[in-house]
Amino acid sequence: MLTAENTAAMVMGALEYQPDSYLTKPLNINILKSRLDKAIIKKDLLAPISQLLLKRKYQEALTICDEIKQNNPKYNMACLRLRYKCLVKLKHYDQALELTTKIINQRPLSWAMLGVGEIFFIKQDYRRASDTFNEMIREFPSVLEGYDWLAKLQYMMGQPIEAQKTLIKAVERSPKALKRQKLLGKIAEENEDIETMTEAYRQAVRYGLNSAFAHPDEFVKLAKAIGVQIKDKGLAERKRLVTEAESVFRKIEKRFKDETSSQFRGAVAHADFCSIINNQDKVDKYLRTANRLYARVEEHIGPKESIEISTSLKQLGQNELAECILEEAVEQHFDDLDFINQAAKITNNKHLIENSKKANHYSSQAIQHFKQKEYSLAIDCFSKSSDIAPNNVNINLNKVQALLKHAQGNSNKLDVLEQAELSLNKITRLSPKDPRYARYSELSRLTQLLIQNI
């Protein structure tokens, strides 16, 4: 990285992405050439290992690691680091632990200490994992992955206050780490620490406005945090917070202008905020906007977002729209038990949760039949689940996969493949950004190819 930026926050933010080198302007051309030459030689030498890792050929990569290490002692440590990565991917945890322990016994290295802690975490030896990450932070206070792992461990062990304190130390050193600020905001919200939550999401919005990692979540969460704080403030501070919140809503409109679901979520949050400041005209305005936008939403709204939006809408007297969102979300996420339990607390539809449990039961049975290669039984169970949740993306994709397997040994191939085509046609609101879109595209391609070859 070549940059004029040399502030601690900018340097720390850049170094977290582990560039080969970080040079500040004005540049010394000889140093630049030297750094480039070294980086290119190293990259070229290790390229065969990198290519095998991309292809997930971890055992072959291990062999190449040993060969390169033997012939190029200068890159011994780089090869050992790659060897560790291969061992973890192969789930050879004892060997990975032995490798990293041996290294830190000779000389403490941050990546090796991180590896020891990671293996203890995988092995569920949480006490030793915690000890390792704490030791790493003392030894390498600027390597912030140690803080992240420790906070993850503390949160998982039911210590959210400690996790928050650990993350605060990390963001003090590197405030521009967007994902860490968002995690701090989430945990602070659970800890009911509104001030820390507000500041974390404020920084996330500030540093993430032009980032690939930006998401409507931090914008909406910041507005909600401001809404909670504003209730106990004096006139001057209240006015300042209202101005900030309105700025956040404008940023949502601008940053996510091409995402109708994000615009919809922002309009509901805006109406909710206007309700807090007792501006009924604006509440009505943004509710009208929300209703108009919802009719244009082309993708499924996530479970957490559905709970947030439905709760706000019910508080604003929009029960019909709230129930509509909940019903669609339950249809798509009936296997998410935490979400179902939350939905059960706010829905007025007595049959909604009961039907979700039935759909989940049939879907679970179908998956078991599929694993046992009982494709006909799997299709039958997927069909029963689909009768309850006809537009569920996962059910339809799984059913198509079972139908394609069933078609291989079936004399009535065309009938089976036409069923697969019908199931694919039910998937109408899957965004290309959805991780499942690639699977949907591939199953569609295979279905059409098999139909054409009959």
What the chain holds in terms of domains, given with CATH numbers, is 1-91 (no CATH), 355-452 (1.25.40.10)
Return the pLDDT at 13. 81
Residue 102: how many other CB atoms lie within 10 Å = 11
CB 267 within 8 A of CB 290: yes
Q: Which two tokens stand for residue 97?
A: 């632990």
Mean pLDDT of each 10-residue bin along the chain, 454 residues long: 83 84 88 94 96 95 94 93 96 97 94 96 96 96 94 96 97 92 97 96 92 92 95 90 97 94 97 96 97 93 96 97 96 95 94 95 97 96 96 96 90 90 93 92 95 86
CA distance 450 to 239: 64
Amino acid at 349: N
β-pair type (2-3, 23-24): parallel
For the chain, the farthest-separated pair of C-alpha atoms sits apart, in whole angstroms, at 77
Q: What is the pLDDT of residue 298?
A: 87
Tally of residues, the chain: 454
For the chain, the distance separating the N- and C-terminal CA atoms, rounded to the nearest angstrom, is: 56
pLDDT digits (tens, 9 = 90+) for 376-411: 999 999 999 999 999 999 999 999 999 999 998 777
Q: For residue 350, what pLDDT is reported? A: 84
Give residue 271's pLDDT: 98
What pLDDT is stored for residue 22 in this prediction? 87
Give the CA dihedral 350, 351, 354, 360, nearest 10 degrees: -140
Residue 318's pLDDT is 97
What is the H or E stretch that residue 299 is in? none
Instruction: Name the token pair of 88.
Output: 């973890």
pLDDT of 266: 97
Alpha carbons 144 and 12: distance in angstroms, whole number: 9
CA pair distance 355, 214, nearest whole angstrom: 36
Q: Give the amino acid at 327.
A: E
- Whether 306 contacts 292, CB under 8 Å: no
Type and span of the H or E element at 72 = none
